[in-house]
């Protein structure tokens, strides 16, 4: 073998050795079959869980609840400034019963004629005052027929503030939308707007559990069934 051939063979052997060493450096240990198989059911569960939460908390409420606007966009803040606190319009009669939502006769004490130029004021006069038609207010806190609630027992005797159940309505410039259950026709405010059932304030919902919780806190017991259910 000539010297040239020997040199070429030596160079080829060195290149082959270098390729083998490089291959060893970049080689990765093969993954054993089934190593990641346990992640498949976990991923499937996560996807199913999230999708069901989305349907239950986002899609289903959109289908279950309808939305309406009040007949008049009522400015509570303005009326509180003019009439005083809640009792100015929502008062107790001489016999102790609660007047509730003001009737048209109550509104006529101040709105027999148009006051100001606000379009809602003009709507009030044209659609309700002039024809003598009662305003069909949508009651956010209307309870089921099987429930009896005494405002006198809570406000007068219990000395509760209106905001405890109704929130800071007196600070509002506009009436909020009225969301109602399409099946039962009751206001969503009774069950609360949080699908998970959580609440931050006492006025976030008006379920029986909330009443029982307040009764136990104030009196030491939840009360008897016949006190609220007749």
> What is residue 45's predicted lDDT score, i.e. its pLDDT?
83
> What is residue 43's predicted lDDT score, i.e. its pLDDT?
82
The parts of the chain modelled with pLDDT lower than 70 are: 1-36, 38
> Hunting for tokens 């410039």 — which residue is that?
173
> What is residue 50's predicted lDDT score, i.e. its pLDDT?
84
Q: What is the 3-state secondary structure (H, E, C) of 143-155?
A: CCCCECCCHHHHH
Please give the Cα distance from 174 to 176 (Å, whole number).
6
pLDDT tens track for 182-204: 998 999 999 898 877 889 999 99
Spatial CA neighbour of 97 closest among 135, 37, 153: 153
> Hunting for tokens 């406000």 — which residue is that?
155
pTM passes above 0.85 = no
Distances (CA, A) of 137 to 71, 88, 95, 207: 7, 18, 25, 22
């Amino acid at each position: 073998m000539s010297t040239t051939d020997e040199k070429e063979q030596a160079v080829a052997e060195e290149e082959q050795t270098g390729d083998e060493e490089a291959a060893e450096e970049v080689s990765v240990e093969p993954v054993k079959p089934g190593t990641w198989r346990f992640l498949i059911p976990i991923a499937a569960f996560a996807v199913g869980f999230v999708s069901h939460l989305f349907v239950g908390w986002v899609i289903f409420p959109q289908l279950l609840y309808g939305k309406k606007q009040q007949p008049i966009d009522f400015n509570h803040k303005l009326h509180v400034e003019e009439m005083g606190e809640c009792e100015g319009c929502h008062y107790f009669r001489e016999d102790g019963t609660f007047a509730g939502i003001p009737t048209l006769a109550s509104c006529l004490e101040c709105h027999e004629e148009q006051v100001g130029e606000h379009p809602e004021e003009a709507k009030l006069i044209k659609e309700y005052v002039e024809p003598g038609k009662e305003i069909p207010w949508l009651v956010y806190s209307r309870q089921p027929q099987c429930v009896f609630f005494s405002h006198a027992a809570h406000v007068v005797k219990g000395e509760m503030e209106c905001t405890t159940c109704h929130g800071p309505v007196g600070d509002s410039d506009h009436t909020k939308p009225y969301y109602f259950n399409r099946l039962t026709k009751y206001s969503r405010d009774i069950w609360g707007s949080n699908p998970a059932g959580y609440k931050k304030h006492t006025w976030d919902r008006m379920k029986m559990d909330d009443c029982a919780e307040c009764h136990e806190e104030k009196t030491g017991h939840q009360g008897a069934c016949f006190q609220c259910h007749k």
